[in-house]
Amino acid sequence: MTLTFLLTSFVICATPGTGALFTLAAGLARGYRGALLAAFACTLGVLPHMFAALTGLAALLHASGVAFAVIKYLGVAYLIYLAWATWRDKGALAIDGNQAPRPARQVIFSAITINLLNPKLTIFFFAFLPQFVPANDPNSLPHMLGLSLVFVLMTFAVFAVYGLLAAATRERFLRNPTWLARLRRAFAASFLVLSGRLAVESR
């Protein structure tokens, strides 16, 4: 394992994206437990991409423009739905101290779906990780599995930190309805921007 791999993986994990944004919102909406649950569920959404890369399915996604487009636009549609639900304050991301906590299964489903419908994660595992596996390595599969697990653990750690920091400021937002409304709209707009960015991305 190289320092380059660790640093690059950290930058990829720490760069705010849909998973980080969702975990931040969960921390503000549900506190520390909600933040950790969202971080864990977002990380679970990474695992199918990892297994796809290890079994060669990522090669199909990389080669097939149709398959890539289908996954991409499903992800775009789901991000638009999250933006609408957050704006309307009726979705899993509603931030309101007077409401009963949303069922954990809603948080888990939303978090997993966000990363599951992100084809860029599959391309990351397919195109990035193999660069750190020596050529003609007889243990290339275990080596790649080990690197993948490091990335997954790093993803959870970064998301958890984002969520816990958000949870630490939760009470301040709950005491200010104006901030709450602005924050909710900011999250909705952010999901909409991310959906647009995903829509124009190519392989």
What does the pLDDT read at residue 54?
77
- For residue 11, the model assigns a pLDDT of 75
Report the alpha-carbon distance of residue 115 to residue 111 in Å, rounded.
Answer: 7
pLDDT of the residue at 58: 52
Residues 6+ apart with CB under 8 A from 115: 18, 19, 42, 45, 46, 49, 121
Q: Would the CA dihedral through 61, 63, 64, 69 be positive or negative?
A: positive
In a domain, 179, yes or no: yes
Residue 12 is predicted with a pLDDT of 73
Question: What does DSSP assign to residue 103?
Answer: P
pLDDT for the residue 92 = 46
Residues with pLDDT less than 50, the chain? 90-92
pTM of the predicted model, to two decimals?
0.70
Range of the domain at 72: 19-90+99-200
How far separated are the first and last CA of the chain, in Å rounded? 27
Name, in order, each residue with C-beta under 8 angstroms of 87's C-beta and a sequence gap of 6 or more.
184, 185, 188
Q: Is residue 185 part of a domain?
A: yes
- Counted domains in the chain: 1
Residue 183 falls inside a structural domain:
yes
Whether 9 maps to a domain, the answer reads no
Which pLDDT tens digit goes with each residue over 69-118?
776 777 677 678 767 776 776 444 555 555 555 677 888 888 888 888 77
Pairwise CA distance, residues 146 & 140, whole Å: 10
Tokens of 103: 């069922």
Q: What does the pLDDT read at residue 37?
A: 93
